[in-house]
């Protein structure tokens, strides 16, 4: 999750916390760079689509929006709960797949 990324960055750089807004901006930049690499024909890119929100929500600011992220996650075997009102789609039981950073 983005929270896990922030916690890891804080630990690595021996600081109390990191800015969620700045972290979100740089995760989006990494996502856009990965999409450019895919367009250029690269096979291995940063799997940005695996970064979700703390509640399992998908990121509407990623390239292609939450729907494109949902497609990639489904391809990897994850189940996605459809968007509900203004809430974006969510990964079902995402806790089972979380990686320790």
The answer to whether 63 touches 31, Cβ cutoff 8 Å, is yes
The model's pLDDT over 40-56, given as tens digits with 9 standing for 90+, comes to 999 999 999 999 999 99
Domain ranges of the chain: 2-97
Quote the percentage of the chain above a pLDDT of 70.
Answer: 100
Residues 54 and 31: their CA atoms lie apart, in Å, by 18
pLDDT given for residue 54 in this prediction: 94
Rounded alpha-carbon distances, angstroms, from residue 38 to 57, 78, 79: 24, 22, 24
97: confidence class by pLDDT, cuts 50, 70, 90: very high
Res 15: pLDDT: 98
2-29: average pLDDT: 96
Position 88 scores a pLDDT of 94
Buried b / exposed e over 23-52, threshold 16 CB at 10 Å, is: bbeebbeebeebbeeeeeeeeebeebbbbb
């Amino acid at each position: 999750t983005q929270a896990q990324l922030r916690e890891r960055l804080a630990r690595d750089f021996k600081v109390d916390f990191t800015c969620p807004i700045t972290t979100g901006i740089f995760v989006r930049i990494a996502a856009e760079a990965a999409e450019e690499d895919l367009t250029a024909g690269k096979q291995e890119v940063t799997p940005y689509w695996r970064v979700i929100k703390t509640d399992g929500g998908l990121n509407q600011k990623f390239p292609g929006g939450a729907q494109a992220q949902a497609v990639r996650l489904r391809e990897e075997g994850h189940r996605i709960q459809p968007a509900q009102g203004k809430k974006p789609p969510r990964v079902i039981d995402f806790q089972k797949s979380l990686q320790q950073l």
